[in-house]
Amino acid sequence: MATINEVPFVKGHGTGNDFVVLPDLDGARGITAEQVRFLCDRHAGI
């Protein structure tokens, strides 16, 4: 599992789609829609 600023994540792809998974088992991460858009940007994100 990779990390970005100590936040663990897994990145993958399948059936023409890209996936970024951020574990948040207790629901405490609090990521905004703007942060999601930034992280998922194919050219600037992870």
Q: Domain locations in the chain?
A: 2-40
Nearest to 2 by CA among 17, 16, 18, 22: 22
| Strand order across the 17-21 sheet | 2-4, 7-14, 17-21
- Given this model, what pLDDT does residue 2 score? 66
Q: What is the per-residue pLDDT across 1-46, written as a single tens digit (0 to 9) for each?
A: 766 677 788 888 889 888 888 888 898 888 889 988 888 888 887 7
**21 near 39, Cβ under 8 Å?**
no
- Given this model, what pLDDT does residue 3 score? 60
Q: What percent of the chain has pLDDT over 70?
A: 91
- Please tell me the pTM assigned to this model: 0.57
